[in-house]
Amino acid sequence: MSSGHAQLHLQLQALPPPPLRFGSVLFPSHPIQSKRIRNSSFSLRLYHNGSKSSVFGRKSGVIRSSVAEEANGAAEPKPKQQVTVKRPYPFHEIELKWQRYWEQNQTFRTPDEIDTSKPKYYVLDMFPYPSGAGLHVGHPLGYTATDILARLKRMQGYNVLHPMGWDAFGLPAEQYAIETGTHPKITTLKNIDRFRSQLKSLGFSYDWDREISTTEPEYYRWTQWIFLQLLKRGLAYQAEVPVNWCPALGTVLANEEVVDGVSERGGHPVIRKPMKQWMLKITAYADRLLEDLDDLDWPESIKEMQRNWIGRSEGAEMDFPILSSDGQERDTKITIYTTRPDTIFGATYLVVAPEHPLLSSLVSTAQRKSVEEYTDLASRKSDLERTELQKEKTGVFSGCYAKNPVSGEAIPIWVADYVLGSYGTGAIMAVPAHDTRDLEFASKFDIPIRWVVMPDDKNLSGSGKAYSGEGTVVNSSNSTVGLDINGLSSKEAASKVIEWADKTANGKKKVNYKLRDWLFARQRYWGEPIPVVFLDDNGETVPLLETELPLTLPELDDFSPTGTGEPPLSKSVSWVKTKDPLSGKPARRETSTMPQWAGSCWYYLRFMDPKNSKEVVAKTKEMYWSPVDVYVGGAEHAVLHLLYSRFWHKVLYDFGIVSTKEPFKCVINQGIILGEVQYIAYKDSDGNFISADSGTSVEYHQELIPEEKVMKSGDSFVMKDNPNICLIARSHKMSKSRGNVVNPDDVVSEYGADSLRLYEMFMGPLRDSKTWNTSGIEGVHRFLGRTWRLIVGSPLSDGTFKDGTLVTDEDPTLEQLRSLHKCIAKVTEEIEATRFNTGISAMMEFLNVAYKWKKHPRLIIEAFVLSLSPYAPHMAEELWFRLGHSKSLAYEPFPKADPSFLKESTIVLPVQINGKTRGTIQVEETCSEENAFQLASRDEKLSKYLNGKVIKKRIFVPGKILNVILDLQNVKATVR
- Residues 428-467 have pLDDT tens digits of 999 999 999 999 999 999 999 999 999 988 777 667 799 9
pLDDT at 20 over 90: no
Q: Which residues contact 775 (CB under 8 A, 6 or more apart)?
A: 61
Rounded distance between C-alpha atoms, residue 957 and residue 932, angstroms: 11
Task: Judge whether residue 62 has pLDDT over 60.
Answer: no
Residue 32 pLDDT greater than 90, yes or no: no
* Residue 638 pLDDT level (bands cut at 50, 70, 90): confident
pLDDT over threshold 80, residue 545 = yes
| 550 close to 224: Cβ distance less than 8 angstroms | yes
More confident residue, 327 or 82: 327
Average confidence (pLDDT) over 608-619:
97
Mean pLDDT across the chain: 87
Least confident stretch, 734-738, 773-777, 801-805, 961-965: 734-738
pLDDT tens digits, one per residue of 850-883:
999 999 999 999 999 999 999 999 999 999 999 9
Hey, is 102 helix, strand or coil? Answer: helix
Instruction: Report the DSSP pairing between strands 770-771 and 673-674.
Output: parallel
Choice between 461 and 781, residue whose per-residue pLDDT is larger: 781
With a pLDDT cut of 70, the percent of the chain lying above it is 88
**Mean pLDDT, residues 718-734:** 85
Asked if residue 269 has pLDDT above 50, the reply is yes
Query: What CA–CA distance (Å, rounded) separates 281 from 644?
Result: 11
For residue 838, CA distances in Å to 291, 723, 879, 918, 922 come to: 36, 35, 23, 36, 27
- The answer to whether domain 906-966 has CATH 1.10.10.10 is no
Percentage of residues of the chain with pLDDT beyond 90: 64
- Mean pLDDT value across residues 224-253: 90
For residue 61, name the pLDDT band (cuts at 50, 70, 90).
very low
Q: What's the average model confidence in pLDDT over 51-59?
A: 36
E-only strand ranges, 285-363: 313-323, 329-338, 349-352
- For range 21-41, the mean pLDDT: 34
Contact, 743 vs 134, CB < 8 A? yes
Q: What average pLDDT score do residues 558-582 get?
A: 88
Contact 323, 364 (CB under 8 A): no
The pLDDT, as a whole number, for residue 970 is 60
Q: Which pLDDT score, from 0 to 100, does residue 65 have?
A: 38
Least confident of 442-446, 564-568, 657-661, 823-827: 564-568
Show the DSSP H helices in 769-835 as ranges.
777-791, 814-832
Architecture of domain 121-215+598-670: 3-Layer(aba) Sandwich (3.40)
Q: Are 121-215+598-670 and 906-966 the same fold in CATH? A: no
Crossing angle of helices 140-155 and 814-832, in 10° steps, is: 120
pLDDT of residue 736: 67
pLDDT at 402: 97
From 252-266, 287-301, 751-765, 838-852, the region with the lowest mean pLDDT: 252-266
Most confident of 610-614, 924-928, 934-938, 963-967: 610-614
pLDDT for the residue 34: 35
Whole-angstrom Cα distance, residue 467 to residue 482? 27
- Span 192-216, pLDDT tens digits: 999 999 999 999 999 999 999 999 9
> What residues does each domain of the chain span?
121-215+598-670, 225-292+517-596, 312-513, 676-730, 776-901, 906-966
Task: Name which of 36-45, 327-336, 410-419, 827-836 the model is least confident about.
Answer: 36-45
Residue 7: pLDDT above 80? no
Q: Does domain 225-292+517-596 have CATH number 3.30.830.10?
A: no
The Cα–Cα gap between 591 and 569 comes to 5
- Residue 461: the pLDDT is 67
- Tell which residue, 648, 657, 596, has the closest CA to residue 626: 657
Is 70 exceeded by the pLDDT of residue 256?
Answer: no
- For 312-513, CATH gives 3.90.740.10
Task: Grade residue 50 by pLDDT with cuts at 50, 70 and 90.
Answer: very low
Looking at the predicted structure, is the pLDDT value of residue 6 above 60? no
What's the pLDDT tens digit per position in 371-384? 999 998 888 776 76
Nearest to 882, CA basis, from 854, 853, 858: 858
Q: By mean pLDDT, which of 122-136, 339-353, 549-563, 691-705 is the weakest?
A: 691-705
Q: What distance in Å separates the CA atoms of residue 758 and residue 837, rounded to the nearest whole number?
A: 8
| CATH homologous superfamily for the domain 776-901 | Isoleucyl-tRNA Synthetase; Domain 1 (1.10.730.10)
pLDDT-wise least confident of 7-21, 108-122, 139-153, 859-873: 7-21
Give pLDDT tens digits for 955-969.
999 989 999 999 876
The H or E element spanning position 129 is: none
pTM: 0.80
Contact yes or no for 865/883 (Cβ under 8 A): yes
